[in-house]
Amino acid sequence: MSNALLTPEEVKSYWENGYLLHKKPLFGTEKMRTLTNIFEEQLAEKGSKLSDELDTPHFRDERLLEFLLSDEVLDLVEPIIGPNIGLWSSHFICKDPLVGRATPWHEDSAYWKGRLSSFDKIVTVWLAIDRSSKENGCMRVIPGTHSNGFSEYEAVDGKKNTFSSQIKNVDESNAVYFELEPGECSLHDSRIIHGARANTSEFRRCGYTMRYFSTEAKVYEDKNPGFKVWLARGKNIAGSRFVNE
For residue 245, being part of any structural domain is answered with: no
Render each residue's pLDDT in the chain as its tens digit; 245 residues. 445 689 999 999 999 999 999 999 999 999 999 999 999 999 888 776 766 668 999 999 999 999 999 999 999 999 999 999 999 999 999 889 998 888 999 999 999 999 999 999 999 999 999 999 999 999 999 999 998 888 999 998 877 887 778 999 999 999 999 999 999 999 999 999 999 999 999 999 999 999 999 999 999 999 999 999 999 999 999 999 999 98
CB 152 within 8 A of CB 106: no
The answer to whether position 240 is within a domain reads: no
Prediction pTM value: 0.93
133 inside domain: yes
The answer as to whether 229 is a domain residue is yes
| Distance between CA atoms of residues 71 and 159, nearest Å | 38
Asked if residue 2 belongs to a domain, the reply is no
* 3-state DSSP assignment of residue 234: coil
Q: What is the pLDDT of residue 2?
A: 46
For residue 162, the model assigns a pLDDT of 77
The total of structural domains in the chain comes to 1
φ, ψ of residue 124 to 5 degrees: the values are -105, 125
Instruction: Name which of 94, 57, 97, 99 is nearest 207 in CA terms.
Output: 94
Digit-coded pLDDT (tens) for 133-188: 999 999 999 999 998 888 999 998 877 887 778 999 999 999 999 999 999 999 99
Is the Cβ–Cβ distance between 244 and 86 less than 8 Å?
Answer: no
Q: Domain holding 160: CATH number?
A: 2.60.120.620
Domain of 19, in residue numbers? 8-233
Residues 218, 24: Cα–Cα separation, whole Å: 32
In a domain, 35, yes or no: yes
Q: Which amino acid is it at 135? A: E
Which residues 6+ apart lie within 8 Å of 124 measured at CB?
A: 108, 187, 188, 190, 209, 210, 211, 212
Note whether residue 243 is domain-resident: no
In a domain, 171, yes or no: yes
CA dihedral 167, 173, 175, 181 (to 10 degrees): 130
